[in-house]
Amino acid sequence: MAEFKQNYFQRKTKPRGPRSNNRITSPDVQVIGSDGENLGILNLNDAINRAKDLGLDLIEIAPNAKPPVCKIMDMGKYKYNAQKKANKAKKKQKKIELKEIKLRPVTETHDYNFKIKNAKKFITKGDKVKFTIRFKGRELQHSSLGSELMEKIKQDMQQIGRVEMEPKFDGKQMIMVIQPL
């Protein structure tokens, strides 16, 4: 009775990775040797015995094939190589960030040029740029100034980026997103 309670409360972990040795469910498997040669279709028990004789594991490589393809190799080495491959793929990924540049409808030309230069730098690095024009007080009545400024930004960014989100009002601000070509 005590053994039942201990097993009852134990956490069951889901096996991760490919099936190996006795976890393989198919009665017959296509076996590839440790040196890469095709050993043909074998009974599962024979394949496991061949792997054990070499001191290695039988690992299911292609479970959806008919019959499943298994390879004789070391499970630890297989998992290590899979982890290295995953890390390498993750390292090559480019994470696209959204940079925000805030302007006002009355921004002077020097400040505008400086912010456009920064936006071009962000876009050439591969990031998206969100332009925000904030209106205060009575400036909201002159929303055409903001629209003109957004058109000017579109013209200046035309060579290196394209508009992902057209200029639109969001409360007291106008927003536009530009992404790299």
Give residue 1's pLDDT: 46
Cα 140 from Cα 105, distance rounded (Å): 9
Point out which residues pair with 168 in neighbouring strands.
175
pLDDT tens, residue order, the chain (181 aa): 445 555 666 677 776 778 888 888 888 889 998 888 888 888 888 889 988 988 898 888 888 888 889 999 888 888 898 899 989 888 887 778 899 999 999 889 999 999 999 999 999 998 999 999 999 988 888 888 889 999 999 999 989 999 999 999 888 999 999 999 8
Q: Which domains, ranges and CATH numbers included, belong to the chain?
A: 17-83 (3.10.20.80), 98-180 (3.30.110.10)
User: Residue for token digits 């296509």?
Assistant: 30
Cβ burial of 69 (10 Å; 0-12, 13-18, 19+) is middle
Full-model pTM: 0.53
